[in-house]
Amino acid sequence: MNQKTLVLIKPDGLVKSLTGNILMRLSESKLEIVAAKILRVNKELAEEHYKHMEDKPFFKELIRYIQGELHGRRKVMAMVYWGEDALTKVRELAGSTNPEEADVTSIRGSFGRITTKGIYENVLHTSSDAKEAEREIKLWFEPDEIIVDLYPTKTVSMETQKKRVWA
Ligand code: ADP
Ligand code: MG
């Protein structure tokens, strides 16, 4: 079945220069990248992305982690992978959430670690199911940033909206 999934290379992945390694591993899936960007993650986006973890004792640190505050690298790389069984393929290549339990040949097993403060630094995020993928893709990307039509869209006029353009 054709699926889509949000992939984030987290700040530890970027600070450790793992982008190339991670993309190479993910390319084994033969999936297509249909959107990609580097962005700074503000607190609102971080909290919305991880809202299902709100009650966890590590929530505050998790928000600081995805914002890059633990790594002095305030950015993530966000992508949408699309194709046959995208969700399962990418999660399998990523490995388990806990990097110490992840298969050692997986991305998290190879490059992740648990810090002495107990943070799972697992270098990438990937959506866990179709519903989560839809919520996350719509949260991280505008329709025009994705080169295929993944979900229904509508056109609205926003005449009062200000936009920064090249000077
Ligand atoms: P996944 O990223 O594999 O979908 P979850 O959605 O359960 O995992 O958790 C989101 C993120 O929260 C994880 O990727 C990890 O960074 C962090 N996390 C999850 N569980 C723990 C834990 N027990 N201790 C510390 N950090 C955790
Ligand atoms: Mg998850």
- Break the chain into its structural domains and give their ranges: 2-145
User: What is the structure's pLDDT at 79?
Assistant: 98
Nearest CA to ligand 1 atom 4: 128
Per-residue pLDDT tens over the stretch 30-84: 999 999 999 999 999 999 999 999 999 999 999 999 999 999 989 999 999 999 9
Q: Of the candidates 86, 79, 80, which has an alpha carbon nearest to the alpha carbon of residue 29? A: 86
71 labelled catalytic? no
DSSP letter (8 states) at residue 52: G
Is residue 117 predicted with pLDDT exceeding 90?
A: no
Ligand 1 neighbourhood includes 97 CB (under 6 angstroms):
yes
Query: Interior CA angle at 5 toward 93 and 83, to 5°?
Result: 80
Q: What is the mean pLDDT of residues 108-116?
A: 96
Q: Which amino acid is at 6?
A: L
Any ligand 1 atom below 6 A from CB of 77: no
Which pTM does this prediction carry? 0.96
Give the whole-angstrom CA distance, residue 1 versus residue 84.
5
CA atoms within 13 A on the CB side of 13: 27
- What's the longest Cα–Cα distance across the chain? 52
Cβ atoms of 49 and 135 closer than 8 Å = no
Distance 141 CA to ligand 1 centre (A): 22
The CATH architecture one would assign to domain 2-145 is 2-Layer Sandwich (3.30)
Q: What is the mean pLDDT of the chain?
A: 97
- Identify the pLDDT of residue 158: 86
Q: How high is the pLDDT of residue 161? A: 86
Token code pair at residue 89: 């393929």
